Amino acid sequence: MSHSLHGKVSKRILALAIGLALVAAACTEGEAPSGAKDSAPSPAPNSGTALSTPVQVRIASVQSAKLNWQASVPGVVEAFRKAVVAAEVDARVISRSVEPGDPVQAGQPLILLDDERARIARDQAAADVRRSEANAAQADSELVRGRDLFARQFISEDRLDALRFAVRRNRAQAVAAKAQLAAAQRALADATVRAPFAGTAEQIHVQVGDYLKRGAAVATVADFSLARVRAGVTASEANRLTGAETAELALDALGGRRLTGRIQSVARLSEPASGTYPVEIWVEDRDGVLREGMVATVHVPYAAVDSPASVPAAAVFRRNGAMHVFVVEGRRAHLRAVRTGRTGGALVEIIDGLAIDQTVVIDGQFALRDGAPVTIVSGG
């Protein structure tokens, strides 16, 4: 009895297991259960299914253009003129007429040296001139009288030659005396040390009572009515500067203040130390804010060049170490690697990767994937 009951139970369990297996197989071949929908794989990001929402973008065309481009090089500000004024005579300082920072005019006295010895030498030289001129006049008179006597045969030809020689000697002495007088007058004038040009007395190197030897530094005068900004460019950049007239400067020491200067010269000889070619720019300093040694960023404009293909700078971006753009074709944006060249203003030269009249995205790239659909809201 028990053995037959045990057999019946085993058969029922086996039949139940077979039924469950058949149900599982039917579920596998048919639709998934509603609870498994969220785990189904999503469409590939670049599949371009009808469910993708178009991205609104702005576009521009690839076109040929003239690029007005520029390079930025460091420059240093210098005074337009600067001179260390020195003593030209040996003398003691008896007064100084200016202090550091005072404006000066050309020829204005800076330092007065003791000129007593110079005055004495000047007076002595003037007396020597008067004496030599009197001697020359007397020799001329004696030669006139000697010629008359020689004509009447009262003196010999040797005596007449001696009178002629006396005239030449006295005239030479008069010339030498005048030269001595001029030197004495110059020495007297040099006792007053004057400004060589209009500017500012930046430094005064002596005090009243100092005894100066000839050549000793007295004052440093600088003229900042104009400033010279010196920069260096490469040989290719120097060639492209032909025809350029102005440059823009930004000075960090003045909070990035910008000034415009005139390109005065581009050297044809390079600096031995740097290998660059000096460029000198003249800048008007109407507000008196420039100081020697300031560092300026010089934006040097180059002559306009033809670019076969260029796009707005906003279209170009870097991805994975290379420059890219999105090209719009058939209402879809396609990622395209490009090789860029020069930059001129708001345009970038495209050397390789694009053709004329192709369309690129200039706004909206942040939301784009390769092959994404787009809606054009405006053109460039």
**Domain end marker among 176, 204, 232:** 204
Q: Is the pTM of this model over 0.85?
A: no
Least Cα distance to 189 among 131, 130, 121 occurs for: 121
| 171 located within any domain | yes
User: Do 144 and 155 fall into the same domain?
Assistant: yes
368: containing domain: 55-68+305-379
- What is the reported pLDDT for 45? 44
Least Cα distance to 140 among 170, 119, 181 occurs for: 170
b vs e for 237-257, b when ≥16 Cβ sit within 10 Å of the residue's Cβ?
bbebbeeeeebbbebeebeee
- Output 312 or 11, whichever has higher pLDDT: 312
For the purposes of burial, counting CB atoms within 10 Å of the CB of 117, is it exposed (0-12), middle (13-18) or buried (19 or more)?
middle
Number of domains the chain contains: 4
Element (H, E) at 335: strand 332-344
Least Cα distance to 320 among 339, 342, 337 occurs for: 337
User: Do 92 and 196 fall into the same domain?
Assistant: yes
**Domain end marker among 301, 326, 359:** 301
| 135 located within any domain | yes
User: Do 88 and 64 fall into the same domain?
Assistant: no
| 63 located within any domain | yes
Task: From residue 262, give the alpha-carbon distance in Å to each of 229, 259, 281, 282.
Answer: 10, 10, 5, 5
Q: Residue 197 — pLDDT band, cuts 50, 70, 90? A: very high
Q: Residue 305 — pLDDT band, cuts 50, 70, 90? A: low
Q: What is the pLDDT of residues 75-118, one digit of tens each?
A: 999 999 999 999 999 999 999 999 999 999 999 999 999 999 99
Contacts of residue 299, defined as CB under 8 A and 6 or more positions apart, other chains included, come to 70, 71, 72, 247, 248, 249, 250
Kindly report which listed range (145-154, 208-217, 239-248, 279-288) carries the lowest average pLDDT score: 239-248
**Domain end marker among 239, 267, 301:** 301
Query: Contact at 8 Å (CB) between 346 and 313?
Result: yes
**CATH at residue 360:** 2.40.420.20
User: Do 95 and 182 fall into the same domain?
Assistant: yes
User: Do 193 and 124 fall into the same domain?
Assistant: yes
| 40 located within any domain | no
User: Do 295 and 319 fall into the same domain?
Assistant: no
Q: What is the pLDDT of residues 214-246, one digit of tens each?
A: 999 999 999 999 999 999 988 878 887 877 788
| 218 located within any domain | no
Beta bridge partners of 77: 229
User: Do 344 and 289 fall into the same domain?
Assistant: no
| 229 located within any domain | yes
| 211 located within any domain | no
User: Do 200 and 88 fall into the same domain?
Assistant: yes
